[in-house]
């Protein structure tokens, strides 16, 4: 693995939530890294292709990334306020998707499901 890709992977490993390429770039530059924004994007794409990071689209369409905690198919619960993300399995979703595809004659099904809400900590802070 390239040193720059390792730098980006390490930055994601140290994060608790999803981060944009621009956010990672700014943080790495603030730490003194000479990495370029294009290199950050390339590293994120390579890490995503290899399954080492999760990528999802925010409500406004921006791609955000997080180090993958598991190598099995999963979905995410993401806090709109703080960005905290929880990996969850969805056997009912998997069954529903497979059944729906079969009903319509589709094969080789893939899908993405992300759930956005407010985590308990942010909800409690908002009530104070």
Residue positions in the annotated binding site for Zn(2+)?
79, 82, 119, 122
Query: Cβ(5)–Cβ(50) under 8 Å?
Result: no
Residues in the annotated binding site for Fe cation:
73, 94, 111
Angle at 38 between CA 49 and CA 1, to 5 degrees: 45
Query: Cβ(79)–Cβ(71) under 8 Å?
Result: no
SS3 117: strand
Residue listed under structure tokens 């993300």 = 85
Residues in the annotated binding site:
73, 79, 82, 94, 111, 119, 122
Pairing of strands 63-67, 53-57: antiparallel
Query: Cβ(48)–Cβ(63) under 8 Å?
Result: no
């Amino acid at each position: 693995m390239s040193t720059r890709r390792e730098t980006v992977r390490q930055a994601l490993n140290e994060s608790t939530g999803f981060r944009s390429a621009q956010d990672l770039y700014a943080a790495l530059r603030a730490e003194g890294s000479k990495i370029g924004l294009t290199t950050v994007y390339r590293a994120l794409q390579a890490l995503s292709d290899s399954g080492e990071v999760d990528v999802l689209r925010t409500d406004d369409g921006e791609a955000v990334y997080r180090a993958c905690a598991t190598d099995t198919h999963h979905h995410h619960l993401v806090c709109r306020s703080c960005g905290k993300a929880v990996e969850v399995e969805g056997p009912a979703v998997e069954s529903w998707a497979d059944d729906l595809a079969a009903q319509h004659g589709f094969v080789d099904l893939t899908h993405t499901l992300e759930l956005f809400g407010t985590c308990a900590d942010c909800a409690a802070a908002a009530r104070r």
